[in-house]
Amino acid sequence: MLVTISDLTHWVSDGTNKRRVLSNLSMQLEQNECIALMGDSGCGKTTLLNLIAGLEPIQQGEIKVAELELHQANERELSKLRKQQLGIIFQQFNLLSSLKVSDNVEFSARLANRLEPSLSKRLIRELGIYHLLDKYPNTLSGGEMQRVAIARALTAQPQLLLADEPTGDLDERNSDLVIAQLIKLVKSQHTALLMVTHSEHVARKMDKVYRLSDGKLELLVHLSAG
């Protein structure tokens, strides 16, 4: 199993009040599996992705990712996990503004010491970003940034890709097209995908769909057996 979450409970605080967002949550994600995570705004989807990525400390319960017990891991081990095994596409894309698109695309793969020029060329071609390679991120549209962020994540060949689907200024139909392409690419690379999405159309393309509600996960659809 690539990810095992057991009895995870998590609280957030606004300084005065503490609120439970995840409540005895358990789930598993297999190698190569594509899971959609849905749920109302503010229900805790990003928090769950951050916990799986080791970006927030686990308060209660356990998460194991690629054999690493996150609640027992130190910062060095967590950082190695993120560098070697995880790809993360944040809502704001987090492209490096001082680097050209070409260097952004190669950035994570270089960090992981896993740059394969033939793969990065293929991703650049398939995502249609060749004409953007000499540009800087602040000159790109939201959809272009999304495609560059996908290329950067997949060039590093992660075992698990965590993606927080952008809800901002992207045209829904184009965004759905790019996400469909992302799913095709992760399947061809045998990468597991856990993606937050608000689109039922996108969710239907995944193996499983979970809804996060009242701190718990409800399995809505399970397609991989079919």
Ligand X SMILES: Nc1ncnc2c1ncn2[C@@H]1O[C@H](COP(=O)(O)OP(=O)(O)OP(=O)(O)O)[C@@H](O)[C@H]1O
Rounded to an integer, what distance in angstroms lies between the CA atom of residue 121 and that of residue 194? Answer: 25
Rounded Cα–Cα distance for residues 58 and 212 (Å): 18
* Residue 55, token pair as written in the block: 């970006």
Integer-rounded Cα radius of gyration of the chain:
17
Scan residues 40-79 and list those touching ligand X (CB under 6 A).
41-47
Nearer to ligand X, 8 or 127 (CB): 8
CB 87 within 8 A of CB 156: yes
Residue 156 contacts residue 108 (beta carbons within 8 Å) = yes
Quick one: 13 or 74, whose CB is closer to ligand X? Answer: 13
Residue with Cβ nearer ligand X (45 or 208): 45
Q: CB nearer to ligand X: give 21 or 29.
A: 21
CB of 106 to ligand X, least distance (A): 29
104 forms part of the interface with ligand X (CB under 6 A): no
Is the CB of 12 or the CB of 66 nearer to ligand X? Answer: 12
Q: How many degrees, rounded to 5, is the angle at CA 48 between CA 109 and CA 115?
A: 5
Show contacts with ligand X in window 5-34 (CB under 6 A): 12-14, 21
Residues in contact with ligand X, total (CB under 6 A)? 12
Of the candidates 5, 25, 29, 39, which one interacts with ligand X according to CB under 6 A?
A: 39
Q: Sign of the C-alpha dihedral, residues 217, 50, 31, 7?
A: negative
Q: Record the tokens describing residue 120, joined without a space.
A: 């990065």
Contact characters 170-209, ligand X, x per CB under 6 A: ----------------------------------------
- Which residues of the shown chain bind ligand X in the complex (CB under 6 A)? 12-14, 21, 39, 41-47
